[in-house]
Amino acid sequence: MNAGRETAPVVVVGAGCIGAAIAYHLSRRGIKGVAVLEREKFAGTGSTAKAAGGIRQQFSSTVNVQLSKLSVEHFLRFPEEMGTGQVFWPVGYLFLLSDPAQWAAFQAQAEMQRALGLPVTTLTPSGASEIVPEVSMDGVLGGTFCSTDGLGDPHMVTQGYESRARELGAKFHFERPATGLIRDGEKVVGVHTAQGDIHTPLVINAAGPHAAEIARWAGVDLPVLPYRRHCFITQPLPWVHEKLPMIVDMHSGVYMHRESGGMLLGLADKDEPTSFDTSVNWDFLEQVVGPAMERVPGLEVAEIKTGWAGLYETTPDHNAVLGPVTGVPGLMLANGFSGHGFMQAPGVGQLIAEWVVDGKPSLDLSGLSHDRFRDGRVVVEANVI
């Protein structure tokens, strides 16, 4: 053995919710000494810190439904397994549809989601009003509601995974960015850092919006681009109550949920070019507040308390890229969650650990493979917010 040579059974690049979940699940499956490289001072300061906390299972593709459903099972037993407080509040997600074609698609999806075991109901506008009397149903043709969707705490989840992973032998190296990959031919055999190389048979890319850069070091073209996305929070409002579900108005794209006694308002700016810019564009606030007030008239009296912007790590089909890369042994991907990485982190952690330990995951993830871009097997996820 080479004295001073640093080795690890697995190196995870990035300590966001995804990297932390993977580190925990690998450690739980008996892999000792998983190394997590994080360039910042703490875990969960990247996109994870900017997430709105939405956890939903209502997707258009079966694999996303299954991945989120698996994750909800983890979120529900998280306090017991991790020794934390509650991290998930199943207040439900209500999608409101105003476009006939979209309404038809959501009704068809609801059948698929029910067949996979989700309690999804389709609602008339008056049925939706019974759940959220605060919401104007002007122009709404119908809605879908899943009572086991809800809201979670990305910070607590990431911290929970980090601390349990550490107890099980994982090592988190903060302020130690990966600067390159060590290769032996096509194979990845380690990671360069300014504090020295780490030799390993497996590197897992969990670098969020920076994932494409890490993949490029191995000669892999990973189509994950960063896009700025905003959230704004109102001051507390008297009508906001704890049972209020996440409300998604598919007509405008505005989503809203209870936050600190007020409302969190979010909307993707479809015209935003790709960039790593996370400064808040306050001019965009008006474009969010307008449609939000139309849907929820009680917001007319609301004052905006704060706002932030973070990065979606987006793929061309709005689906994650998970698993090994054909022709590049020693590299695995857990990237490109396109706005739903927090809600899928627990399932991703479990399935990546199965891939590493058992040789394959217990869920068919072929639709999320890197090869799909090469083979033209891309199926676009329609329910993106």
Residues of this chain that bind ligand FAD (CB under 6 A): 13-19, 37-40, 45-48, 50-54, 177-178, 206-210, 229, 231, 310-313, 337, 339-343
Min CB(28)–ligand FAD separation in Å: 18
Q: In what order do the strands lie in the sheet with 171-174?
A: 171-174, 35-38, 11-13, 203-205, 328-335, 321-325
Q: How far apart are CA 237 and CA 303, in angstroms?
A: 9
Min CB(21)–ligand FAD separation in Å: 8
List beta partners, residue 323.
333
Min CB(91)–ligand FAD separation in Å: 13
Q: Which is nearer to ligand FAD, 141 or 365 (CB)?
A: 365
Q: Which is nearer to ligand FAD, 168 or 343 (CB)?
A: 343
Dihedral sign of CA atoms 63, 212, 359, 357 in order: negative
Q: Which is nearer to ligand FAD, 164 or 340 (CB)?
A: 340
Q: Which is nearer to ligand FAD, 143 or 310 (CB)?
A: 310
Min CB(278)–ligand FAD separation in Å: 8
For residue 242, the tally of other CB atoms under 10 A from its CB is 8
Q: In what order do the strands lie in the sheet with 142-146?
A: 120-123, 142-146, 93-97, 246-249, 255-259, 262-267, 225-234, 304-314
Min CB(138)–ligand FAD separation in Å: 25
Q: Which is nearer to ligand FAD, 88 or 103 (CB)?
A: 88
Are residues 53 and 146 in contact, defined by beta-carbon separation less than 8 angstroms? no
**Residue by residue, what is the 3-state secondary structure of 204-247?**
EECCHHHHHHHHHHCCCCCCCEEEEEEEEEECCCCCCCCCCCEE
Distinct helix (H) and strand (E) counts, the chain: 10, 20
44-55 burial: b if 16+ Cβ within 10 Å, else e: bbbbbbbbbbbb
Min CB(208)–ligand FAD separation in Å: 2
Q: Which is nearer to ligand FAD, 51 or 96 (CB)?
A: 51
Cα-based angle 75, 130, 138 (whole degrees, multiple of 5): 105
Q: Which is nearer to ligand FAD, 103 or 255 (CB)?
A: 255
Min CB(144)–ligand FAD separation in Å: 18
